[in-house]
Amino acid sequence: MTEKINKSKEEWKKILTQEQFHITREKGTERPFSGKYYLLDENGIYNCISCGNPLFKSDDKFDAGCGWPSYTKPVSNDAVIYEEDRSFGMIRTEVRCAKCDAHLGHVFDDGPGPDAQRYCINSVAIDFIKKT
């Protein structure tokens, strides 16, 4: 397991943009179909915007039609952590970065593949590194 990164609210505000802070530290979300990675179709890896932790591979990305980048699985079993989310009158599973605890999005059980997982992730919470 990777060593956890713990920073104060003030430290995160110095590192992140206002939008990144709102989404990753205050459990916000970007508008559907507005994120820069929603339609991106290039080979590479998606890392946590807050700490650089590798989270998702482009090979596992698919168009779920939901308005956010979607993946069938994380890059490894210990890349993300899960937490029950009961906000907005729903019960969902929140996805967080295992290294810095950043809010990334949610996972649903209506995806393709053998595990039927759809990791619905905010573009603002991730950074794409193109594979050359």
- Does some domain include residue 14? yes
- Does some domain include residue 45? yes
- Does some domain include residue 30? yes
Structurally, how many domains does the chain consist of? 1
| CA distance linking residue 121 with residue 35, whole number of Å | 10
| CA distance linking residue 53 with residue 50, whole number of Å | 8
Summarised one tens digit per residue, pLDDT across range 97-121 is 999 999 999 999 999 978 999 999 9
- Does some domain include residue 123? yes
- Does some domain include residue 4? no
| CA distance linking residue 109 with residue 96, whole number of Å | 17
Domain region containing 81: 9-130
The label of the residue with tokens 């907005």 reads 88
- Does some domain include residue 2? no
Catalytic residue (choose from 48, 51, 97, 120): 120
Residue 66 bears catalytic tag: no
Summarised one tens digit per residue, pLDDT across range 49-102 is 999 999 999 999 999 999 999 999 999 999 999 999 998 888 999 999 999 999
On the question of pLDDT at 1 being above 70, the answer is no
Q: Which of 79, 65, 75, 78 is nearest to 108 (CA)?
A: 65
- Tell me, what CATH number does 37's domain have? 2.170.150.20
Q: Which of 55, 71, 75, 78 is nearest to 112 (CA)?
A: 71
User: What are the backbone angles phi and psi of residue 125, rounded to the nearest 5°?
Assistant: -85, -5
pTM of the entire structure?
Answer: 0.94
- Does some domain include residue 3? no
